[in-house]
Structure 1
Amino acid sequence: MCANVLFSLKPRSHAARKIVNLYANSHFVAVRDGEQFLDLGLYKSGAADETACCIVTMGRAGDIAMPVEWRAISKTHCAFLAEADNQGIMFVDTSSTASCQAYGDDNSRKLLSRGLRQVGGSSCRLRRIEIEVDQRNKAEFDIVGRYPSAQLASALQAWREAELLRHPNMADTLPLPAIDEYANARQAADDEVPSLIDAADAARFVLQGDPI
């Protein structure tokens, strides 16, 4: 069974567009109506995920790579996880700096606490995420859902059962520039962020359909 796109990230700031334009992320990029998106759900996450719930990580050594010169960014800075019961998708801040923010339906900010324990309602609908790169720059993305709430559970179950593609920088193929960039990100990271992501440690900040 092939996987389908679960949701997309649409860049809305210069820093976000820099992430989208990294060669290491080119396999995520789709262009619709002249605008770039990161389509998520097609590739198997490289996270050490005990519960097979990690859709994608972001960071200097994440599934979605971030520039290695962004020293305030952890190697695994944040992630999107599927709920164990498939009723929603969680956004978690796994950074050492607690620098992520999330915004809901009414554009109100949903405060995320440091590490894996977030603050948020059990049915919050995420509209936008914000990652602080430094004191002057933030990577901001709009969330574009692909399934209405009534169809999200079945879509997530199909995602779990699908044979997901491997990231090009994980494949046993000829070396590509992206592989070197990914390896350098791992070596350059000097933070102590745990590489294992366990959904049981995260508060239920659930991102449901329309958009996710």
Structure 2
Amino acid sequence: MRIFLAGATGVIGVRLLPLLVAAGHEVAGMTRSESKADQVRAAGGQPVVCDVYDSAELTAAVVEFGPDLVMHQLTDLPDDAALLPELAGANARIRTEGTRNLVAAARDAGARRFLAQSIAWEPTAGRGEVIRDHEAAVLAADGVVVEYGQFYGPGTYYETEVPAGPRVHIDTAAARTVELLEADSGVVVVVD
């Protein structure tokens, strides 16, 4: 399967990319940063340096690769969890405008499958509408919404502790996502 992985250098993307390649898939790994292109290449992917907010550039990149599946693993979260409330607008934009652009690019490329991450817990006050709209857009495209529990493990906000549920180890989340490539459209909850 040809997979366009948006967010290939994020906390779950860095785990997904080598798993997808090892499973025999051809993967284009999208990153915003030219400096991370070598990381994608080293993991066996074809690097695509692109900004999800540049819809024309994004669509051209997805169409050129010609994927069977577009996977949306993009987030815009700060490295410091204490800054989450202050910087939540950036992640909301990924869930709205980013999702809209990825769905449109997948459609224009003729991709037959779309998979996007979401969350398995109730968002903080005022953020629920963004999550509902994001999931509705994915489902309207006959896609799969993967509602992950809070990630824990190396590279996450919970590297040395286990968060309250719902939660999922980052490596488990990646492995379970690979199992969903042919899942029927709908919502799948991935938690411990």
* TM-score normalized by the length of structure 1: 0.26
